[in-house]
Amino acid sequence: MVIRSKKYDSMSHEDIFNPDNNIAIEVKELKKYFKGKFETIKAVDGISFEVKQGELFGFLGPNGAGKTTTINILNGLLKPTKGTAIVEGYDVLKDLKKVKELIGVCPQEPAIFKFLNARENIELFGNLHLMPKEELKERTNNLLERLDLLEASKRKTKGYSGGMLRRLNLMIALINNPKIVFLDEPTVGMDPRARRSTWEFIGSLKNTNKTIILTTHYIEEAEALCDRVAIIDYGKLVEIGSPKKLMEKYETKNLEKVFMKITGRRILEGM
């Protein structure tokens, strides 16, 4: 049974995908606490936001701010302590299987089977999404070509450079042609040229009407790519809006300074 948020209760399936009501992700009062030996860590502390379909939405904040925890709740790896998270109309707590069919996840550290080659890695995940054989082959070739790994695709990934592994990490997240893509620090460790080229690729995904959730430390990345950003600090959402509007609101030239004005510290201090 499909569980929808109250907002969707009175809507038909078509309504949900109607551009006028195009909410891809709806998060309400989301909390995730981890109980330690001596204290409870509030990794996510009551955040609420919405992401529209086709939007490239950035999560910005220092290490430990709660970005990855929020993403892990949205993709079903973690259960929230409190609050709700609705992905494409499906509650992550009640209809996780359906959510997993609609998403693609690119984790922070490349999670790749090193004894397989690039093609085998991508096809493994495509098979887990039950993709038809022909479609899987075609899409694998397409991704390998677009991200410049076609030549190396039959080599075991054990010998790949960091940049190649990151690109493969991204391809695996996209193999099932997901409606929503979670990109957790996708360009960490890439050289500037590879980073630029990955930005272009991520930007091009917007043309395919995918909703992209991007977490990043790189201010430049967020400014260049994101339609809107949410700034998170100590598990709380401290600001949300388009990079341009936020910079106008705080009368600054970049998002780093916005963050500094709000929190009194630099985003990179947490790294």
Partner 1 sequence: MEIQRIVALIKMELKKLIREPAYLFLTLLFPAVLTLTFGLAFNDPELGMSFDFMVPGLFAYACIFIIMTVAQSFTDERAKGLLKRLNTTPMTSGDFMGSQIISNMIIATSQVLIVFLLSILMGFNHNANVSGILLAFLIIALLSLSSVGLGLITASISKSAGTASGLSFIFILPQMFFGTFIPVTNTTRIIAQILPSYYVTDALTSIFNGDALTSTNILIDFAFVSIVSIVIVIIGIQLFKKLGNK
Two structure tokens written together for 142 = 């397409």
243 in contact with partner 1 (CB under 8 A) = no
The binder of partner 1 chosen from 2, 41, 111, 268 (CB under 8 A): 111
Q: Closest CB to partner 1 among 124 and 268?
A: 124
**3-state class (DSSP) for residue 31:** strand
- Kind of pairing, strands 40-52 and 23-35? antiparallel
127 in contact with partner 1 (CB under 8 A) = yes
Residue 136 CB contacts under 8 Å (≥ 6 apart), including other chains: 123, 126, 127, 175
The binder of partner 1 chosen from 34, 41, 48, 113 (CB under 8 A): 113
Instruction: Report whether 181 contacts 103 (CB < 8 A).
Output: yes
- Tell which positions 143-182 bind partner 1, by CB under 8 A: 156, 172, 176
123 in contact with partner 1 (CB under 8 A) = yes
The binder of partner 1 chosen from 11, 116, 240, 262 (CB under 8 A): 116
Tell me how far, at minimum, the Cβ of 120 lies from partner 1, in Å: 7
The binder of partner 1 chosen from 16, 25, 85, 103 (CB under 8 A): 103
Interface segment toward partner 1; rule CB under 8 A; list 8-16, 22-30, 128-136, 236-244 = 128-136
Q: Closest CB to partner 1 among 62 and 110?
A: 110
88 in contact with partner 1 (CB under 8 A) = no
Other CB atoms within 10 Å distance of the CB of residue 21: 14
Q: What is the DSSP string of 38-95?
A: S-EEEEEEEEEEEEETT-EEEEE--TTSSHHHHHHHHTTSS--SEEEEEETTEETTT-
Binding map of partner 1 across residues 16-55, x = CB under 8 A, - = no contact: ----------------------------------------
Tell me how far, at minimum, the Cβ of 59 lies from partner 1, in Å: 17
The binder of partner 1 chosen from 4, 32, 67, 100 (CB under 8 A): 100
Sheet holding 103-106: strands in order across?
103-106, 180-184, 211-216, 56-60, 228-233, 236-241
Q: Closest CB to partner 1 among 58 and 76?
A: 76
SS (H, E, C) 183-200: EECCCCCCCHHHHHHHHH
The binder of partner 1 chosen from 18, 29, 48, 109 (CB under 8 A): 109
Helix (H) or strand (E) holding 231: strand 228-233
Two structure tokens written together for 121 = 């890695």
101 in contact with partner 1 (CB under 8 A) = yes
Tell me how far, at minimum, the Cβ of 172 lies from partner 1, in Å: 8
Which pairs from 144-148 meet CB under 8 Å and 24+ separation?
A: 144/118, 144/119, 144/171, 146/201, 147/171, 147/201, 148/197
Q: Closest CB to partner 1 among 99 and 219?
A: 99
**3-state class (DSSP) for residue 11:** coil
List of residues contacting partner 1 (CB under 8 A): 75-77, 97, 100-101, 103, 105, 107, 109, 111-113, 115-116, 120, 123-125, 127-130, 156, 172, 176
